[in-house]
Amino acid sequence: MLKYFPTCPLCGANKGYEVSGLAKTYAQCRSCGAKWMSADFAKCKEIKEMYLSEPAYDGKGASLRMPKKYPVKFWQDSNAIENAIKAEETALSRKSANKIEIEEREPKTKLIFHPEMTDQQLKTLIKESLDEIPKWDYGSTIYGKGLGSLISNTSFAEATTIRLLRAILEQNKILIIQNELLRRALSKTT
């Protein structure tokens, strides 16, 4: 990453990158927080493809995020980046004018899933919940590892309860989505 980008493509700082991910596929700018993803980081060879996984802390680059794909040369060209951000913003402000209209007509509810989602999208949601559970369902006994207060004034017991409830919520989501998949499978056969 440093070889290709001695300074951060988004903020221009030269504070280096924090590498993360099991396969070391993420590099995050130590200055602005923008995070890139590439399978090529770990190979220490040529970077062929690189995605912006998270924008900077201040939101810069949000419109260029994955799954949008830009060549490495693009990320090396700060003018191209600025132009692309501007172009995306104008397109977005045009779109959001339409969107506001739609949102006003449709009540804002946070659904566990949307009926128009494909089976594959539902399965992805299940996977996300499965990934989420172990993040919360730990330290659920008094002697559990990593037990601590969530927020400074919650007791261990409260923190444990909050974590478990959070894990149960994800489990419930999985059940609800599985029910939907079953319902779909059944309505196909009849």
Contacting residues toward Zn ion, per CB under 5 A:
8, 10-11, 29, 31-32, 34
174: enclosing H helix or E strand: helix 156-189
Say if residues 72 and 47 touch (Cβ distance below 8 Å).
yes
Q: Long-range contacts: 81-88, Cβ < 8 Å, 24+?
A: 81/9, 81/10, 85/60, 85/61, 88/63, 88/64
Q: How far is the CB of 1 from Zn ion (least distance, A)?
A: 12
Q: Which residues fall within 8 angstroms of residue 103, CB to CB, at 6 or more apart?
A: none
Q: How far is the CB of 16 from Zn ion (least distance, A)?
A: 10
Give the chain's largest Cα–Cα span. 62
Tokens describing residue 67: 């799954």
- In this complex, which beta carbon is closest to Zn ion, that of residue 29 or of residue 125? 29
Q: How far is the CB of 68 from Zn ion (least distance, A)?
A: 18
- In this complex, which beta carbon is closest to Zn ion, that of residue 55 or of residue 174? 55
- In this complex, which beta carbon is closest to Zn ion, that of residue 6 or of residue 146? 6
Q: How far is the CB of 48 from Zn ion (least distance, A)?
A: 21
- In this complex, which beta carbon is closest to Zn ion, that of residue 29 or of residue 167? 29
Tell me the residue ranges of DSSP E strands in the chain: 17-20, 26-29, 35-37, 49-54, 70-71
Tell me the residue ranges of DSSP E strands in 2-112: 17-20, 26-29, 35-37, 49-54, 70-71
Q: How far is the CB of 85 from Zn ion (least distance, A)?
A: 14
- In this complex, which beta carbon is closest to Zn ion, that of residue 11 or of residue 81? 11
